[in-house]
Structure 1
C-alpha cells in the first residue's frame, strides 16, 4: 500500500509540473516584460498608453499589428518621422536602444500580447535578424 501511495503522489507531482510549464511564447513574453520595464516604460508608460501627440500608444495599437516588420525595424534601428497610430499622427524620434535580436523578439511578443493586443504569430530572434535598415 505504501508503494501505491508513493507512486500516486509522485504521479500527481509530475503531472502538475508539466501543467505549470510555460510555452516558448509565454517565456518570451515574461522576458519581454522585463525589457519593456527597462527600456520602453519611460515613454510609452506602464500600460502602453503612450503620451498623446508625443509618444504613440502601444496598447490597442493598429500600427503594431499592421506593420510588424516596420515595428521590429523601429526597435532595432530606431524610428524617425511621421507614423499614424490609431488614426493620430505622431512625428517624433525613437533612438536605437542597442537591444539584441532576442531582446527585440521578447519585447515585441510582450507588446503584441498585452493591453488588448493579440498576435497569433510569435516573433523570433531569427525573424528579427532578417530585418535590415
Structure 2
C-alpha cells in the first residue's frame, strides 16, 4: 500500500511539473495564432477608447483638423508611417487625400499588440481593404 501511494504521488508530481513546463509554449502558440478577425475585434475596442474623438465613428475625421482614416490614401500608401504614428505619435505636415493636415497626434501609450490591433481594425473598416496583417513583431521592429 505504501509503495502505491508513493508511486501515485510520484506520477502526480511528474505530471504536474510536465504540464507547467508546457504552459509557456501553449501561451506562445495561442498568441501567434491570433487571427485577423480577433485582432480586428480587439482593435475596434481600442479605436472606440482612443481614436474615435478625433477620427470619429465613421473614420472620416474632421476636415483640415484631423485626417480621415476611411478611404485614406496616406494610410493606404504609408503603412509603416501610419503604424509609427499610432505607436509614437505624429507631428508635422502630412497630406491626406489632397488636404494638408498639421495637427499633432500625441503618443497614445499603446502596447505593440494594441497598435497592431487598432491598425488591423482601421485597415479593414469603412470600406478600407488594405491587405496588410500587422503583427506585434512588425510593430516592435519599428
TM-score normalised per structure 2: 0.75
Radius of gyration: which is bigger?
2
Shift of 1:66: 0.4
SS in 2 for 1:84: strand
SS in 1 for 2:80: helix
> 2:51 matched to which residue of 1?
40
Are residues 1:108 and 2:119 paired? yes
2:92 alignment counterpart: 81
Q: How far, CA to CA, are the matches of 2:89 and 2:37 in structure 1?
A: 26
Within the alignment, does 1:49 sit opposite 2:60 as a pair?
Answer: yes
Higher share of residues assigned helix: 2
The 4+ residue runs of structure 1 with deviation greater than 6 A are none
- Give structure 1 stretches of 5+ with no counterpart: 1-22
Q: Which protein is richer in strand relative to its size?
A: 1
Larger RCO (CA under 8 A, 6+ residues apart):
1
Structure 2: 5+ residue stretches without partners: 1-33
Give TM-score scaled by structure 1 length: 0.80
Give the C-alpha shift of residue 121 in structure 1.
2.1
Q: For 2:92 and 2:130, locate their aligned partners in 1 and report how far apart those are by CA, in whole Å.
A: 26
CA distance in 2, matches of 1:122, 1:39: 21
